[in-house]
Structure 1
């Protein structure tokens, strides 16, 4: 027994004799005046966990100093009183007769231009930063990974400077909001151009730019009337994340035993009353791929770390919203807590969760207030309408035979929207024709653009918050058959030396300019129309004409939309639509500028559309 005690004393003496180090402190700063008075600081460095912490700063008290099974980490929990003044909080780590000091900046919280949220009055422009524009070639190559634009799965060099250079282009099109695929650091061996393998949650990828550049970009967006939505990932990190070489604790990562466990992607198990426990477990704890370790949000330190990271980016960069990747995969209670805490700090803020389901019942289950969900409040304001996307992908296709009633190509759209009773908030649903994970909607064989024009007319006038993928305005097409890289191609003109510059009319073909101008007209009109921004939706069952008719109504403003899915012109008697037309007698088509008498029948061209402002 005496020998064991001496051995333990010797080990402890050796450890204490090694000077503690501080390698990282995250977050790097914080603010006074936050709603949540508690702050977690993760301190990492050799043997820092063996130190004793002393803090002497007016208004700041130590609530807890938490140790893990790794002596190289300390999780410091501070309380910051309301009257605390900004300054540098001295964190003193004492080990024996040695003291290590870190000055932690506590900043003044200021009124921010950001955190404005987004609503159905907005239209999002989704950008994959690596593929949009390259305005700084100096940051292209890193860690031996070089730009190769010939390889659809390699880095292509797009950056924040390229986005900043084209703010006016986005603004002139008529968008109100820009959603960026992840911009945080992805220093993976293969490059990870898409951004979903984060290796540092607190830093912008150096191939895109710097934290300062990102903050400047959002400020410039705001000056130009644009909001910014940041893509975030809580489910996993990249295998080259700095902490993977020295995990904060054994349970930081799910299934960290050395045996790879692949997630089953069985997202329905979360709501399935008959689900086997093992299936749920594999969904939540399994990894997407070996290069993306699955994070365990049930670890209380990691949970707080991730929540604070979101709040830090909102406060630091003044972003307006977050799109959360793979929403069903992280821990359910953690995600609900995250939504609550972000909303508490920023009441106008909006979060959209990637709820990738083929049925509206499942998508609506995730929205805050769903009566279908008995597991407790989700806190999630906005969900993504994948079911509608999958329907529209075929509904606007060319059909050889004319179809009416239930056979109409738009009947499936009508039927899908008729199930909106499942959504607690039908205005906070993100609608889209495609995105970075799907085949592009535009097709090379759409010679006359009728499919394109009808679909955009629908997307921008139906309920929900529309999102349009970059390049849609110039008919960029592509399928995922070989890899995701084929739907994330470079925007022409974004790189020096590109043959065509589609950012300018001269660099676009006649067909592309037709598509671009059509979208611009719709977007600019939509901005000014209250019926679309906040109006209710009233739609009619497609009848024997095969024309889908619906209205958006807000107060005295009414917009009537008519979509003909047939290959022949259809005469539509207007007496059926008296409920929404009221005493109005005339409608102005916002695309052509033509006026129509809405007391009689209207002739809707083959596979054509009218968007009528009723006067």
Structure 2
């Protein structure tokens, strides 16, 4: 999510939601054979706490306790599902009113617990679904939703949906994508600016303008058929002000600052460094963690144990229901850090090979590395978060390509950023990216320079870590000169009626767009089968003559990468690289498909990236 929301969202007037007191049970089901076998069911109905709820006898299932809060409209049922329990349906009832509801226990997918999360072998393709492709025009406007379709407005809903993503799966497979990260598709029933998805008003249901839960599950199934996993964007820190919780809080302490924004007085400071700062005041820590982003996004109090349990169960429920291969966590460090430790631990205990990446928007790797699993922190904090996002490298690459070369400018910024990898316990599990949905596109940041953009993308797709690419980068989508998020999240060519260009078919694309598409597709498809780019060691060299060079080395393969910023072709002496290049070795040029024998020099075209592949196993 964005560090600072658009002005449109800041000024949006949020009315309190209309409350329905029809019986609501969350989660709607659970599974037998789960590591998390003790769960808490939240039941919402008017004056439900006055009911004496009982569980009908069911072999292997026990109702441990019923928790009531200061709000009589909620009860929390804590149950244990033992290994003896079989799939079936639990029945809860009240002896006073004969009220009853059913709670299904389902069988798990085969080998569900052993699912493989996304890894450094993958490329995640980030999509804003509303701006990608409109696969079902019938759901563009839904009467029950507060905001209707408005495709001509930057901050409006443009009609893209889950069906549009499903329709694009063959294109994404051919491009070389192996994982999909969609910005949140859960219900965002807000009066305006709801398309971005981060103001969730129902944590268990897909927004009907995006599709349905079953269609989201279908996306997961169909994507896997194409060799593509599905990563869910989750929000733990805040929710949408139109959620039922704003008018009918489950407990008084459910929302930080007593559920009040107070005209910005209780806004977050965004001072993320207070979490690690050994000298930070409790006041500053609280202002960062408990403060709200904006009035329309109330801040959740994860220190509330029932809420903590709710959020943990919700994550596991979606993993199991939709067969996810990963989670991206929005605004990671803004949540309570003790809760984050428990939340990540519970998920990783359930799915040991799963992956979760947290958004910690900082260019300081000392702060980002604090959150990665395995880090020995000075304050004793223990995290189970496998992956973090590398904002440091993103910033360094943009600076390097826009600056002249000197002893402290240009490529040295990239070298210094990667030299800080000693701070991370697992450098292969860091997510690298050129841009995302909250920042100007890489092509824009690099002055609409195709050559620089190709260099940037080659670097991000060949360096260490997990690669993430923003939709449309392959066809040079651009938000020049605007910084508005509505322009950054531009409609994908070919995804909507009336467009003259179609990236899915290539129709109407410029020569430059087609060349960029070819470059990206070449890199992504090479990544799929490259052991060196997956697990290979990174050895890089200090920049020389405007060239940054490095090698990715595995037992089977060595990949050499040269980034030449010079405006003329350079015959580069590479004797300094002999520790990674055996003499007279044959190498294949990834982009020209020509084989050459590597001697003491290599010819590097002007303003370009050169990728040479040495298959050492032959």
Same fold (TM over 0.5): yes
Mapped partners of 2:520, 2:378: distance in 1: 38
1:542 partner SS: strand
Q: What does 1:213-232 correspond to in 2, within 5 Å?
A: 213-232=215-234
Q: What does 1:43-442 correspond to in 2, within 5 Å?
A: 43-55=43-55, 56-95=57-96, 98-111=97-110, 115-142=115-142, 143-256=145-258, 258=260, 260=262, 261-397=266-402, 403=405, 406-407=407-408, 409-442=410-443
1:503 partner SS: coil
- 1:230-286 deviation per Cα after TM superposition (whole angstroms, max 9, x unaligned): 000000000001222211110000012645210101100000011111010011111
What displacement does 1:111 show? 1.4
1:396/1:565 contact within 8 Å kept: yes
What displacement does 1:567 show? 2.0
Mapped partners of 2:595, 2:91: distance in 1: 71
What displacement does 1:378 show? 1.1
TM-score normalised by length of structure 2:
0.92
What displacement does 1:93 show? 2.1
Aligned match of 2:15: none
What displacement does 1:485 show? 1.1
Mapped partners of 1:536, 1:435: distance in 2: 26
What displacement does 1:575 show? 1.6
What displacement does 1:597 show? 2.9
1:363 partner SS: helix
1:547/1:563 contact within 8 Å kept: yes
2:531/2:556 contact within 8 Å kept: no
| More off after superposition, 589-598 vs 193-202 | 589-598
1:218/1:317 contact within 8 Å kept: yes
What displacement does 1:566 show? 2.1
Mapped partners of 1:439, 1:101: distance in 2: 52
Give the root-mean-square deviation of aligned CA atoms: 1.8
Mapped partners of 2:584, 2:570: distance in 1: 22
Mapped partners of 1:186, 1:534: distance in 2: 39
- 1:133-176 deviation per Cα after TM superposition (whole angstroms, max 9, x unaligned): 00111111133522122211011110001111110111110111
Aligned match of 2:476: 475
Mapped partners of 1:242, 1:315: distance in 2: 25
Mapped partners of 2:479, 2:452: distance in 1: 16
What displacement does 1:447 show? 6.7
- 1:540-591 deviation per Cα after TM superposition (whole angstroms, max 9, x unaligned): 1113x22111100011311111111222332221221111113452222111
Mapped partners of 2:369, 2:445: distance in 1: 34
- CA change 1:112–1:162 in 2 (3 A) is farther
2:233 partner SS: strand
2:125 partner SS: strand
Mapped partners of 1:360, 1:129: distance in 2: 30
Higher Rg of the two aligned structures: 1
What displacement does 1:198 show? 0.1
Q: What does 1:570-585 correspond to in 2, within 5 Å?
A: 570-585=570-585
Q: What does 1:483-498 correspond to in 2, within 5 Å?
A: 483-498=484-499
TM-score normalised by length of structure 1:
0.93
- 1:198-255 deviation per Cα after TM superposition (whole angstroms, max 9, x unaligned): 0000000100000000001100000110011000000000000122221111000001
Mapped partners of 1:603, 1:282: distance in 2: 55
| More off after superposition, 290-299 vs 588-597 | 588-597
Aligned match of 2:508: 507
Mapped partners of 1:384, 1:448: distance in 2: 25
Mapped partners of 1:224, 1:594: distance in 2: 30
What displacement does 1:58 show? 1.3
- CA change 1:35–1:444 in 2 (3 A) is closer
2:578 partner SS: helix
Mapped partners of 2:395, 2:50: distance in 1: 55
Aligned match of 1:554: 554
